[in-house]
Amino acid sequence: MTTVTTGKDPQSTEALDFVAPKADELAALFVGRSRPPRPSALSASLTFGWRAMLKIKHVPEQLFDVTAFPIMMVLMYTYLFGGALAGSVSEYVQFLLPGILVMSVVMITMYTGVSVNTDIEKGVFDRFRTLPIWRPAPMVGYLLGDVVRYLIASAVMLTVGVIIGYRPDGGIVGILLGVALLMVFSFAFSWIWTMFGLLLRSEKSVMGVSMMVIFPLTFLSNVFVDPKTMPGWLQAFVNNNPVTHLATAVRELMAGRWPGTDIVWVLGWSALFVLVFGWVTMRLYNRK
């Protein structure tokens, strides 16, 4: 092709610190290219998950909330309530650690909303949305990346717990089952945050709304104490709070028991969250 010219201004080309595009190379880029078939839903989602990993690699500071924050939570609550509530720290930590693990990870999920909110405003989302891929893939990829963050937080907290005297009867298997259930719930629950991330206009409002949801949900549960001493109306809320079911299920699994009813409740809540908030998220995403 002769229509292409480069280096119109030979004097200044020498002064450049980068190389201008070359016409023949450009032309060669287009010759005989066929388009590959579009990727599967899973492949596209995993690719977006890989993007989340790359972001962690480039901005490792963002791991602060899944390392320092959980350590602080474990130490603070164990020593704050330990003596008063259970007589001794080593006894209380057996009860508290699975609960505080659930509470911290559920709290960390709210950062998903903030990152969706800041990311969606950037030009790169326009490109994602013009790609012929499975529509929820960018959001699912986000959440898959976040699951890695939740796993890091869980590992950190369990390590600290074991150091200060947590000895679960369920052993490794119990711990892994408990963490697996926690991951399923957190993945499903995060769709609430992707919804708010797309719905609300600023990062600050996302934070504000997240607090409003997360505090009652995590504190009004059986994470810290057995709900039997609470007034009836509060018990009604606490006993039906998904976080209570999750905390019970994780606690029992780690203690080596099989809390069938609570597991079913947790999976049921998870399915509900994905269906409802996943659907709303995708509607907002397509309309944005």
Partner 1 sequence: MTTDLAIETEGLVKVFGTNRAVDGIDLRVPAGTVYGVLGPNGAGKTTAVRMLATLLRPDGGRASVFGRDVVREADAVRGRVSLTGQYASVDEDLTGTENLVLLARLLGHTRPDARARSGELLAAFGLAEAADKQVKNYSGGMRRRIDIAASILNTPDLLFLDEPTTGLDPRSRNQVWDIVRAVVAQGTTVLLTTQYLDEADQLAARIAVIDHGKVIAEGTKGELKASVGSGAVHVRLRDPEQRPEAERVLRSALNATVQLDPDPVALTATVDGHGTDLGAAEQAARALAELSRAGITVDNFALGQPSLDEVFLALTDRKGTTA
Binding partner 1 by CB under 8 A: which of 14, 30, 84, 163? Answer: 30
Residue 29 binding partner 1, by CB under 8 A: yes
- Using alpha carbons only, give the angle 211, 214, 220 rounded to the nearest 5 degrees: 125
Are 74 and 160 within 8 A, CB to CB?
Answer: yes
**Residue 245 CA: distances (Å) to CA of 102, 109, 182, 234, 241:** 10, 18, 11, 15, 7
Q: Which of 61, 64, 127, 228 binds partner 1 (CB under 8 A)?
A: 127
> Is 36 one of the binding residues for partner 1 (CB under 8 A)?
yes
Binding of partner 1 at residue 126 (CB under 8 A)? yes
Among 10, 14, 33, 201, interactor with partner 1 by CB under 8 A? 33
282 binds partner 1 (CB under 8 A): no
Tokens of 45: 């989602």
Structure tokens at 67: 């390392």
Q: Whose Cβ is closer to partner 1: residue 72's or residue 124's?
A: 124
Least spacing, CB of residue 133 vs partner 1, in Å: 6
| Contact with partner 1 (CB under 8 A) among 132, 163, 231, 233 | 132
Residue 102: C-alpha distances to residues 56, 70, 84, 218 (Å): 23, 10, 22, 9
Q: For the CB of residue 33, give the shortest distance to partner 1 in the complex, in Å.
A: 5
* Stretch 137-166 residues interacting with partner 1 (CB under 8 A): 137
**Class of residue 149 by CB neighbours under 10 A (exposed 0-12, middle 13-18, buried 19+):** buried
Shortest separation between residue 166's beta carbon and partner 1, angstroms = 37
Q: Does 63 bind partner 1 (CB under 8 A)?
A: no
Interacting residues with partner 1 between 7 and 26 (CB under 8 A): 8-9, 12, 16, 18-23, 25-26
User: Do residues 192 and 275 touch, judged by C-beta distance below 8 A?
Assistant: no
> CB of 180: closest distance to partner 1 in angstroms?
28
Q: How far is the CB of 68 from partner 1 (least distance, A)?
A: 22
Closest CB 48 distance from partner 1, rounded Å: 8
CA 267: distance to chain centroid? 17
Closer CB to partner 1, residue 3 or residue 229? 3
Stretch that binds partner 1, among 38-46, 99-107, 153-161, 260-268 (CB under 8 A): 38-46
97, 182 Cβ separation under 8 angstroms: no
Which range touches partner 1 (CB under 8 A), out of 73-81, 116-124, 188-196, 224-232?
A: 116-124
Residues lying near partner 1 in the complex (CB under 8 A): 1, 3-6, 8-9, 12, 16, 18-23, 25-31, 33, 35-39, 43-44, 47, 50-51, 54-55, 58-59, 122-124, 126-133, 137, 287
